[in-house]
Amino acid sequence: MARAERRTFRSDFRRFFVKGLAVLLPTVLTLWILVKAYEFIDVGIAQPINGGIRYVINKSTPHVEILKETFEPSDAAVQRETERRREADRSKTAQNEARSYLRSQRILEWWNERWYMNFIGLFVAVLSVYFAGRLLGGLLGRSLYSKIERLLTTIPVVKQVYPYVKQVVDFILSDEKPIKFNRVVLVQYPRKGIWSIGLVTGTPMKSVQNEMDPNAREPGITVFIPSSPTPFTGYTISVTLDEVVEIPISIDEALRFTITGGVLVPDRETITTALGSDDSPPSNSLSK
């Protein structure tokens, strides 16, 4: 009888640490991604909009009575700020510059006392993105956007980066995806005996079909085989119908399986008993 493995504090610590990491890491990573996404939106989009709003308020204050009553500094405060600036840089400072500075500080103080004001920039950003989508969805907007894209693809460095970034964003967000996956299949790739998950994208090019089987009653299919852990990259192959096997999982399940390197398996596809002698994949081929 095999002797039981000796348990030590070190082995127990490592085992429970890994178990705790497995439990906590998905939540922590999810929160980290959400926080970073919020920081990006807040710092990169909302705060500049809020700053622009405060700037407009600052410049409008001398001309709007209700704003003047709230934000306009007193003459004494302006005089003190002017003297302070003159002493600091030993140069003449116009009073209107000191007044504008004090006004902006009062606006900022008033703004920060009302935490909900910071959401104005976020709200405006969301509305701006929405209306940009509505605008670009029209005929005139699409035409203008196409011209801007053509201009971007002529700028050095930008033209090497922009097309690939656009492909990834379109892949994730666009309703009209450049690649439309129909179903999930298995195909022996990159050699016989190795079964890879692929996503059917359509039919082959005419020249490819002619090389495969020009007299076939039905055309073959084009299959995109995503790579792990980044399914945005992969290989595109063209095969005949009798070379693929359709499997009953969704596109999302196939992508999760690929991204995690086979760790996340759909519950109904999890093997709970030992395979028999016939361990080949299911035989529900696409060929008729």
Q: 257 or 144: which carries more pLDDT confidence?
A: 257
Spatial separation of the C-alpha atoms in residues 267 and 15, rounded to whole Å: 26
User: What's at 252, amino acid-wise?
Assistant: D
Classified as helix, coil or strand, 68 is helix
Task: For residues 167-174, give the mean pLDDT.
Answer: 61
Question: The tokens of 278 are what?
Answer: 């016939």
In this predicted model, what pLDDT tens digit does every residue of 76-104 receive, in sequence order?
A: 777 777 777 666 564 555 666 777 777 78
**Confidence band for 66, pLDDT divided at 50, 70 and 90:** confident
Torsions phi, psi of 252, nearest 5?
-60, -40
Q: Nearest Cα to 226, choosing from 168, 266, 173, 283?
A: 168
In this predicted model, what pLDDT tens digit does every residue of 188-220 receive, in sequence order?
A: 999 999 999 999 988 889 888 888 887 877 888
In this predicted model, what pLDDT tens digit does every residue of 14-26 receive, in sequence order?
A: 666 666 655 556 5
Say if residue 163 is preceded by a cis peptide, omega within 30 of 0.
no
DSSP assignments along 230-243, one per residue: -TTSEEEEEE-GGG
